Amino acid sequence: MNPIVVVHGGGAGPISKDRKERVHQGIVRAATVGYGILREGGSALDAVEGAVVALEDDPEFNADTSLLSH
């Protein structure tokens, strides 16, 4: 079975043209993390957590990493 990963990078407001590519790269990075976890046999929950942490660690996204220990 080939895993499928869907990542939603927010969308609470408009994304300016100068940020669009950086946001896109962040979403791709998060999806790649989640996909890699699934390919290595990790659980769906682990894949979601990995993708969310990748988004939270990206300064382009409005996320608070202080609540997570990773």
Q: Using one digit for the tens of pLDDT, what is the confidence trace for 9-53? A: 666 678 888 888 998 899 899 999 999 999 999 999 999 999 989
pLDDT at 6: 72
User: Cα dihedral sign for 46, 6, 18, 67?
Assistant: negative
pLDDT at 65: 56
Whether the Cβ atoms of residue 23 and residue 15 lie closer than 8 Å to each other = yes
Query: Cβ(50)–Cβ(33) under 8 Å?
Result: yes
Does 2 have pLDDT greater than 80? no
Q: Where are the domains of the chain?
A: 18-57
In the structure, what pLDDT confidence band is assigned to residue 63 with cuts at 50, 70 and 90?
A: low
What is the spatial distance between Cα 43 and Cα 48, in angstroms, rounded to a whole number? 9
